[in-house]
Amino acid sequence: MKLVVAGTGYVGLVAGVCFAEKGHDVTCVDVDEHKVKQMEAGISPIYEEGLEELMQKNNAAGRLHYTTDYRSAYRDADAIFIGVGTPEQPDGSANLGYIATVSRQIAESVERDCLVVVKSTVPVGTNDKVEQFIKDFLIHDVKIEVASNPEFLAQGSAVRDTLHAARIIIGTESKEAEKLLMEIYEPFGLPVVSVSRRSAEMTKYASNDFLALKISYMNDIANLCELVGANIEDVAKGMSYDARIGANFLKAGIGYGGSCFPKDTKALKFLAEKAGYHLETVEAAVSVNQRQKTRLFRKASDRMITFQGLKVAVLGLAFKPGTDDLREAPSIDNVDLLLEEGADLYAYDPVAEDNFRKRYPQITYVDNPEKALEGANICFIFTEWKEISEVPARRYKELMQTPLVYDGRNVYDITEMKENGVEYYSIGR
């Protein structure tokens, strides 16, 4: 089937590549000529495990194409998937400007009946508006229908999450649209849940916000564990055996980040307020997460008289392992505070360094964790990269001037660190 994907970020590019991998003829559209040439050369503009290899494979097979010429791409597509960003606005609402731009381009370009599928995360009711918007600007006498097909991928495992998803959600208002989407996804061999457009839109927000709430709940419990002498890892283990709770998203830390949870919790809160409803649970998740991000810095501030002139090792910059994404990364909040206090920062991250350097050129960057630790007075761990967790506990004592470690991801065993002479603080333990 001839598919077009608008946007080549995490959502659009991963979707396009995976559609091609399942045998569809896919064209990815982007406004950035340099980015298009980069992708044509088989180079991924984002760091995502397995993505570049699949790009190269399907480029070579002639199933995957890239262009800035949206008119030609949209003209005779069977289906057009919209995967552009819906960034958060200051009031928490979603910015639908990119959706609107693509929608008008589609309206002015299509020359045959076409299904437009919105994969971007959008407020409930947006797809109704997109359909009407496209019809308002149609040039040719064609039939257009809009469907919702929200993605549930996680950065760092996006390819795997797409090819082996637990379910595919489709939201349609006609049997014809449902049938076409079923055919598109048939090669994936995955369960398809077919609902209305508005239910599909809400499913995306409800799912992400439930997971965000689960993370914030565990972080809140972790903070209480510290006060009463319990261990959050023991608590999580005990909880995980309950099938009603499950084992996922029980790991305590310094909060969630990335492109989805922060944005989607705020967007759902905004949607609820607009509807005249007070969504207390989601508001609590947002509040807890914001406080949790700087918990390490506050702990260290209670211990230190000053950070002025101290060498501080910063291990991990991305919001999670497996990605170079810095959006809402806890490292940013803490680095800002440390720089304000006059600390001399030495940072390590295996893939996010270049992105971080653009924002903080004044920081010293090193190519391995041990270089950051050499002569350091204090160390903060913000991301649980394997390259960091593999540093032996004894090396902190051997390399640091003062073996003082604040671990926001509970990478190390408390006893092991203590036995190796490291003053060690973690979350909920």
**Could you give the 3-state DSSP secondary structure of residue 23?**
coil
- Give the separation between CA 209 and CA 204, rounded to whole angstroms: 8
Give the model confidence (pLDDT) of 36-63 as tens digits: 999 999 999 999 999 999 999 999 999 9
**pLDDT tens for each residue of 10-29:** 999 999 999 999 999 999 99
In this structure, are strands 168-171 and 192-195 parallel, antiparallel, or unpaired?
A: parallel
Q: What integer pLDDT is reported at residue 31 of this predicted model?
A: 95
Residue 37 to residue 56: CA distance in whole angstroms: 13
Record the tokens describing residue 339, joined without a space: 């720089």
Q: What amino acid is encoded at 188 in this protein?
A: F
Q: Which residues are catalytic?
A: 260
Q: What are phi and psi of 99, to 5 degrees?
A: -60, -45
* Spatial distance between the Cα atoms of 162 and 190, rounded to a whole number of angstroms: 10
Report residue 77's pLDDT band, with 50, 70 and 90 as the boundaries: very high
pLDDT tens per residue across span 104-134: 999 999 999 999 999 999 999 999 999 999 9
Tokens at residue 48, please? 């995502």
DSSP 3-state assignment of 169? strand
Q: Which two tokens stand for residue 172?
A: 């349609």
Walk me through the domains of the chain, giving residue ranges and CATH numbers. 2-195 (3.40.50.720), 203-292 (1.10.1040.10), 294-425 (3.40.50.720)
H or E element, residue 315: strand 311-315
pLDDT band at 236 (very low <50, low <70, confident <90, very high): very high
For residue 156, the model assigns a pLDDT of: 87
